[in-house]
Amino acid sequence: MEKDQVFMGEAVQAGWNSCSFGMEMETDELNCVGSCFLNPKWHNLMDQSDPFESALSSMVCSPAASNAGSTNFPASGDNTMMTDLIGKLGNICNTGDISPQSLIKPQNNNNNCSSNTSCYTSPLDSPPKLNLSMMGGNQILKHPSLVPVSVDPGFAERAARFSCFNGLNAQLGVTEAEFVQLTRVSTNQSVMVTGSQVHVPDSNKNTLQDGNSCSDKRNSRLSRCSSPENGDSKDESSISEQIPGVGSSIKAQNDANARKRKSMPRGKAKETPSPAAADAKIAEENDESTAKRSKQQNDSAKAENKENPKPPEPPKDYIHVRARRGQATDSHSLAERVRREKISERMKFLQDLVPGCNKVTGKALMLDEIINYVQSLQRQVEFLSMKLATVNPRMNANTEALLSKDMFRSRGSLPHSHYPMDSSALAFGLRYQPQQGLPMNNGISNDTQIQFSMNPANAALHKTQGLQLPPVDGISDANPQIGSFWGDDLQSIVQMGFGQNQPQSCQSKHS
């Protein structure tokens, strides 16, 4: 069983690899992050044991299977003759081949398993050749279904690419060593670990290739796809466990520096022994986490992504800006986009404020318009203050009238709390002109005066309540009228006297 698991894992991984390279036309699907809809597909395919081969062929695994089918035979024939490249290719192919078998009839693999496990656990130094020799011959021959699958038009391409990977694989001995440790840690699942381990170099190759980032996506999606497999058999559940780990590992290799960091979650994912259902969930969780991680790493792997025609779009739940197609997804450009949106929003707001800004197109011109407007406003203020400074001194009294009006208004609107001090202060300030106010006060009803005189403490409140309305037409809205009609102004002075000088005058009268 363990061996089966191994094979499955490898098969799936091999499928991913091949998928990442051979099936680049699927980028549309890959771009949409929530590719959960692929899961049911896969699930159905897995459930149906009979059409499974066809399903595999149609699905991601098909290239791997084809690879295996075609290459394994020669590889098994002359093991020693194979170079490292071909050996690696054969290894991948083997895994691809074995996986369909294990799915369909796991008992077939029993023979191979013994040999294979040994191959995989030891093979860290030289995995490809052993695999080829041991596995290729037995299983592929047993499995007739692979023969039609092997006829794959895109195979030549893939084979070439795989061969390219081998060279890279040799360089990645360090990562393999890490995985060896992992395999030792878990004896039962050592097979699985080895499977993932075998993968990691593959993933390394992927990342080193151009379309690596796409491979991330595919891997994550495949992990989800594989999770439904768990319902079929235990073996496959173990595969699903591996898959997130593999995805993370691939991402880890996106950034060479982050390798160690990622190795930890990978090991975790593998070592979690879990029933099928739990596995599926774990796989998805891992998938999400890896996807986020991949997003973070996209920054570091920016250069690679630029080469990538269609960069992956990881789920960005926490950032509310989504990159549209063809837009960069690294955090810098996202932040830049957010900033630009903010700026354009404010510009729109300013456009409404500044007259004549609507006709202008272009932000620079709009800003020019805004600058002109601000300048003109500032000049207007200067001009007006100059005008106020040169106002005829004979209008001095009117200032007080105006002020009183304004004070009334403000006090009327804020009767109690706002300017308790103002009344006294103003009364103080205005005392020097009671001669204007007093004669006018004659027309004012005496009872109010009496009230004021009787209750000076409440005077302020009375003033505010009684005088709310008249001053309203004062400065703010009807100044031209007031200006033209001196009588109104006098009236205001009267009111002023009523409001402010009245208490004093009344008190003086009464006292």
Q: How far is the CB of 299 from other proteins (least distance, A)?
A: 17
Question: CA 343, 344, 346 angle in degrees (round to 5)?
Answer: 65
Distance from C-alpha of 175 to C-alpha of 64, rounded to nearest angstrom: 23
Rounded to the nearest whole angstrom, what is the least distance from the CB of residue 238 to other proteins in the complex?
A: 50
| 473 forms part of the interface with other proteins (CB under 8 A) | yes
The answer to whether residue 375 forms part of the interface with other proteins (CB under 8 A) is yes
How far apart are alpha carbons 13 and 2 in whole angstroms? 16
Q: Between residues 157 and 336, which has the closer beta carbon with respect to other proteins?
A: 336
Query: Is residue 421 close enough to count as binding other proteins by CB under 8 A?
Result: no
Sort residue 233 into left (φ over 0), alpha (ψ -120 to 50) or beta: beta
CB atoms near residue 199 (< 10 Å): 29
- Nearest CA to 219 out of 236, 186, 196 is that of 196
Residue 449 DSSP one-character state: H
Cβ-based neighbours of 476, under 8 Å, separated by 6 or more? 409
> Given the complex with other proteins, which of 246 and 430 has the nearer CB atom?
430
Of the pair 310, 337, the CB lying nearest other proteins is at 337
Q: Provide the token pair at 290.
A: 């890896």
Binds other proteins by CB under 8 A, chosen from 118, 477, 508, 510: 477
Name which of 52, 20, 64, 10 is nearest 242 in CA terms: 10
* DSSP string over 9-70: HHHHHHHHHHHHHHTGGGHHHHHSS-GGGHHHHHHHHHH-STTHHHHHHHSTHHHHHHHHHH
What is the nearest approach in angstroms of other proteins to the Cβ of residue 392?
A: 7
Can residue 416 be called a binding residue for other proteins (CB under 8 A)? no
DSSP code for 390: T
Query: For residues 52 and 65, is the Cβ–Cβ distance under 8 A?
Result: no
- Answer for which of 354, 493, 494, 496 binds other proteins (CB under 8 A) is 354
Decide: is 371 part of the binding site for other proteins (CB under 8 A): yes
Instruction: Answer yes or no whether residue 29 interacts with other proteins by CB under 8 A.
Output: no
Site of tokens 């009117």? 398
- Interaction of residue 381 with other proteins, rule CB under 8 A: yes
Q: What's the token pair of residue 108?
A: 């077939």
Nearer residue to other proteins within complex by CB, 181 or 399: 399
185 makes contact with other proteins (CB under 8 A): no
Asked if 160 is part of the footprint of other proteins (rule: CB under 8 A), the reply reads: no
Nearer to other proteins, 271 or 488 (CB): 488
Check binding of 457 to other proteins (CB under 8 A). no
Q: Which stretch binds other proteins (CB under 8 A): 26-34, 130-138, 215-223, 477-485?
A: 477-485
The DSSP call for residue 106 is G
d(CA 351, CA 353): 5
Which positions from 288 through 347 interact with other proteins, judged by CB under 8 A? 336, 339-340, 342-343, 346-347
461 counts as binding other proteins under rule CB under 8 A: no
We find the least distance from the C-beta atom of residue 475 to other proteins, in angstroms, to be 6
User: Which 223-252 residues touch other proteins, going by CB under 8 A?
Assistant: none
Binding site residues, other proteins, CB under 8 A:
336, 339-340, 342-343, 346-347, 349-350, 353-354, 363-364, 367-368, 370-371, 373-375, 377-378, 380-382, 384-393, 395-396, 398-400, 402-403, 406-407, 409-410, 412-414, 418-419, 429, 469, 472-473, 475-480, 482-484
